[in-house]
Structure 1
Amino acid sequence: MLTGQGCPATMLSIKDALEALEGKWKLLILFSPSSRPKRFRQVAKDVEGITDKILSKELKALEANQLVKREVFSTFPPTVEYSITPHGRSLEKVLAELHYWGLAHRKTIIGK
């Protein structure tokens, strides 16, 4: 368990994680292709409320952090699929804990 005593290495690792996953969309985008690779339009449909411009930007950032893999197939027109990398899969426990925390938080705040 973290003690919060200001260990510089711990603070740096948390900062790195937050920078890789910052914003309200990245974790939702990452969750979208968790069961199978998906095309851009499928991810956009899963992540309700995101614009194409933001989705494109966030996918590039996730790809730069090696959390998502972009694969282009030589079809006409070209087919592009996004899948989670093994590094991205390492966030499964984080996503699961965030899911359970979100359920408890909703119950505490909203009462449902």
Structure 2
Amino acid sequence: MSNKKMEKSEEKCALQEILGVIGGKWSMSIIYALFPGKKRFSELERLVPNINTRMLVKELKNMETNGIVVRKVYATVPPTVEYTLTPKGQKLEPIISELYKWGLEYVG
């Protein structure tokens, strides 16, 4: 296999891994909602239109596993849970903001 083909194959693999982390249907919307700062679970449900509770839980768990968000639980009744972006997640801000601008120009 030539070097160019191997490089293309490696690029595709890296892209697939990236999409596995932030490519979920709701991931970018959740990350975008967290740019201003920490949010409670119920706030995220309101800020991400049309997401159901089960999908929000699933996406947040995936992003927590991949080091994009931090989940903090407070010992209150009922329990309070807050989510914030990690430094790794915060680095996505310029990328997602540019995608948002592109979408406003070409998709809407």
Please indicate, yes or no, whether the TM-score normalized by the shorter chain is above 0.5: yes
The equivalent of 1:52 in structure 2 is 53
Shift of 1:7: 2.1
Question: How many residues get paired?
Answer: 104
- 1:32-75 per-residue CA deviation (whole Å, 9 max, x = no partner) reads 12112111100000001000111111110111111010001122
- 1:66-93 per-residue CA deviation (whole Å, 9 max, x = no partner) reads 1010001122222110001101011112
TM-score norm. by structure 2 comes to 0.87
Within 5 Å, give how 1:1-112 maps onto structure 2: 7-106=8-107
Shift of 1:8: 2.7
Shift of 1:99: 1.1
SS at match of 2:45: helix
Which structure has more RCO (C-alpha within 8 Å, separation ≥ 6)? 2
Separation in 2, partners of 1:74, 1:34: 25
Aligned-residue CA RMSD (Å): 1.7
Separation in 2, partners of 1:56, 1:23: 12
Q: Contact 2:69–2:83 at 8 Å: present in 1 too?
A: yes
Q: Contact 2:27–2:59 at 8 Å: present in 1 too?
A: yes
TM-score norm. by structure 1 comes to 0.84
Separation in 2, partners of 1:28, 1:9: 28
SS at match of 2:37: coil
SS at match of 1:7: helix
Q: Contact 2:35–2:93 at 8 Å: present in 1 too?
A: no
Gaps of 5+ in 2: none
